[in-house]
Amino acid sequence: MVGLLAQAGEAARLDTPEVEWTALAPVLVMIGGAVLLMVVAALAPRGSRVGWHAIVTIAVAVAAIATVVPQWNRVGDDGPFSVVAGSVGVDRFSLFLTVVICASVVIATLFTDGYLRREGLEGAEPYVLMLLSASGGLIMASANDLIVMFLGLEILSIAVYVLAGMHLRRVRSGEAAIKYFVLGAFSSAFFLYGVAMVYGATGSTNLVEVADFLARNTLADSGLLVAGFALLLVGFGFKVAAVPFHSWTPDVYQGSPTPIVSYMASGVKAAGFAGLLRVFVVTFGDYRLDWQPIVYWVAVLSLLVGAVLAVVQTDVKRAMAYSSINHAGFILMGVQAASDRGVSAALFYLAAYTFMVAGTFGVLTVVGRRGDGHHQLSDYAGLGRREPLLALALVVFLLAQAGTPLTSGFLAKFYVIDAAIESRSFWLALVAMLSAVISAFLYLRIILAMYGSSDDAETADGAAATAGPRLRVPAAAGIALVIAVVATIGIGLVPDPLSETARDATPELVASGD
């Protein structure tokens, strides 16, 4: 001890890693923007009519997207690189997901503004938390080290727990927050335990070193490593809402404020899959025979449970929660393929899904009315006549989720099934198509309710008349819906730019430069 201290005293400098700030720009912009917004909003007078909180949030997210562009080019020129002593990697995969997560923040923010006004909530906290949570997602997407990934996971999750309980006056919102928090804390613990096991098996938490170790050595007894896989999968599976780690999803989606759900279903899911793809497909690629069967069955269960339970729901928000479980199953097919094609299919799916699910929950936000409580199927009766444009938007999103041709959903589903078939998982592909048919029934049910037959409509109109005035679509929400509709149909009609980008965006592991 004495000698050690004396040596430390003589060694003039410790080895400190070089921090390349530009490479961290997206995360720094998000965190800096969030902190700045928090302080300024706390100091500014309350109750201003202009939604400047939302404007700043969108500006920050767009700035983060803007910082991606030069890096994208740089990665194209020089190849992927890693920074901060190899704990953060910058490749096109991480940059692609950065854009996806930031886009989901932009859309969710546009819905949140109108929602807060309608519900009489004030303060910039939801925006601050959303930005912080998204920065956690960005860290997850570019983490090159399991500990950094855990850090990102926690930053992502803790902010979302609070967001779920954002609506102070709704009991269900608080209930959702508590449920999400308790189960989420468990899943984080599982994840951390998995990290410990992987460390025990390979002697490092750095993904590059883990992959190196696994490539150079053959483990005589891979039990510890496989246990690590399983525990890591629990952690990721919870975040992406895959069966059997899905039980929180319906309650939390139903209880949380609807615009927040739009972020949860798009941004949080994208971050979860980012970690899943990087850790499993890339780092543990050599051991795919060990983890593929687990992911296979998780995917099958997610597809079937999500589709079947979605159909029997009468609460639309709850039904969409199950549908998001179903979609998680589809994306898991891309993970299960463990190939470049699988990864790019999953990325394409995530990007397309972000727009359609965010849009869906955006419409739900508007239809929910003051109090965020009108989510029964009967509340949608006659919507096609009363609010033709809103109903049309919802039809587009639902058809896209069902996988109808000419929408982004069709191609997304096509690519993942294609990837599954390429990796010879024929039964999985069959189950996926079957579940698509089952869940299509749900989407058609909602559409039928909106454009229902005349006698239904009359009673519904009567109900609507007593329920109150026309639905008001806030301008910001309108813009977000237009963006989402255009993106959904646009990707469906002209998929090549996105699919080519997704093909470029394969994850790679790069050791630190020094």
Binding residues (CB under 8 A) for other proteins: these are 1-2, 5-6, 8-14, 16-17, 19, 35, 38-39, 42-46
CB of 44 to other proteins, least distance (A): 8
β-pairing, 88-90 with 81-83?
A: antiparallel
- CB closer to other proteins out of 38 and 301: 38
Q: How far is the CB of 209 from other proteins (least distance, A)?
A: 23
Work out how close the CB of 104 gets to other proteins at its nearest, in angstroms, rounded to a whole number: 24
Cβ-based nearer residue to other proteins, 126 or 329? 126
At closest approach, how far in Å is the CB of 38 from other proteins? Answer: 5
Q: Establish how many alpha carbons lie within 13 A of residue 492's alpha carbon, considering only the half-sphere containing its beta carbon.
A: 24
DSSP SS3 for 259: helix
* Cα–Cα distance, 279 to 210 (Å, whole number): 10
Which tokens go with 489? 């149909």
Min dist. Cβ of residue 42 to other proteins (A):
4
Nearer to other proteins among residue 42 and residue 389 (C-beta): 42
In whole angstroms, the minimum distance from the beta carbon of 268 to other proteins comes to: 23
Q: Write down the least CB distance from residue 116 to other proteins, Å.
A: 17
Q: By C-beta, is 12 or 312 nearer to other proteins?
A: 12
User: Which two three-digit tokens encode residue 428?
Assistant: 């999985």
Calpha distance 68→437 (Å, rounded): 38
Going from the C-alpha of 73 to that of each of 70, 76, 340, the distances in angstroms are 5, 5, 21
H or E element at residue 82: strand 81-83
Helix/strand/coil percent split, the chain, to 5: 80, 0, 20
Q: State the minimum distance, in angstroms, from the CB of residue 318 to other proteins.
A: 33
Nearer to other proteins, 44 or 475 (CB): 44
Name which of 155 and 304 has its Cβ closer to other proteins: 155
- How many CA atoms are closer than 13 Å to the CA of 102, on its beta-carbon side? 26
Q: Under a CB-based contact definition with an 8 Å cutoff, are residues 358 and 484 in contact?
A: yes
- Whichever of 56 and 214 has its CB closer to other proteins, that residue is 56
SS (H, E, C) 356-375: HHHHHHHHHHHHCCCCCCCC
End-to-end CA distance of the chain: 30
CB of 46 to other proteins, least distance (A): 7
Long-range contacts of 424-432 (CB under 8 A, 24+ apart): 425/296, 425/333, 425/336, 425/337, 428/296, 428/299, 428/300, 428/333, 428/336, 429/333, 431/300, 431/303, 431/304, 432/303, 432/329, 432/330, 432/333
Closer residue to other proteins, CB minimum distance, 21 or 469? 21
Distance CA 111, CA 372 (A): 13
In the complex with other proteins, the residue whose CB is nearer, 39 or 433, is: 39
